[in-house]
């Protein structure tokens, strides 16, 4: 098993509405990292739209179930979306290497977020 596939196995947290979003995230990031699919602008836009929906759903679940760790989880989502918006601006300004580097690191960040924040949330949701 490669490092990449280990990471991919870490993104599923055992709560279907969240896992469906995580599968969608994985598909977009795979396209972004596929050298045959070179349209970074289109994939970054798809990722941005996806993440706004993804974080909105998780945050709605947290509010509905009065989850106590909403604050830090929300802040990490915000930081991710700000960085993504920044990468879109950099791509528009011609920084293709910056975007390539960013794309290569996305699954690592996402696996860490899924394990540290989405997995405890999923566990809480399963119990409610």
Which single residue brings its beta carbon nearest to Fe ion? Answer: 118
Q: Does 43 bind Fe ion (CB under 5 A)?
A: no
Span interacting with Fe ion, options 29-37, 82-90, 96-104, 112-120, rule CB under 5 A:
112-120
- Counting residues that bind Fe ion (by CB under 5 A) gives 2
Residue 118 interacts with Fe ion (CB under 5 A)? Answer: yes
Could you tell me which stretch among 1-9, 55-63, 89-97, 100-108 binds Fe ion (CB under 5 A)? 55-63
Applying CB under 5 A, which part among 2-10, 35-43, 44-52, 57-65 lies near Fe ion? 57-65
Q: What angle do CA 58, 108, 128 make, to 5 degrees?
A: 25
Binding residues for Fe ion (CB under 5 A): 58, 118
């Amino acid at each position: 098993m490669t490092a990449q596939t280990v990471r991919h196995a870490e993104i599923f947290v055992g709560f279907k509405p969240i896992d469906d979003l995580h599968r969608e995230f994985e598909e977009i990031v795979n396209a972004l990292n596929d050298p045959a699919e070179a349209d970074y602008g289109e994939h970054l836009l798809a990722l941005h739209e996806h993440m706004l929906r993804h974080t909105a759903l998780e945050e709605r679940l947290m509010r509905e179930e009065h989850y106590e760790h909403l604050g830090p989880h929300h802040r990490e989502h915000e930081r991710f979306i700000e960085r993504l918006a920044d990468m879109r601006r950099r791509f528009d300004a011609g920084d293709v290497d910056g975007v390539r580097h960013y794309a290569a690191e996305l699954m690592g960040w996402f696996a860490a977020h899924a394990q540290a924040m989405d997995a405890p949330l999923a566990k809480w949701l399963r119990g409610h």
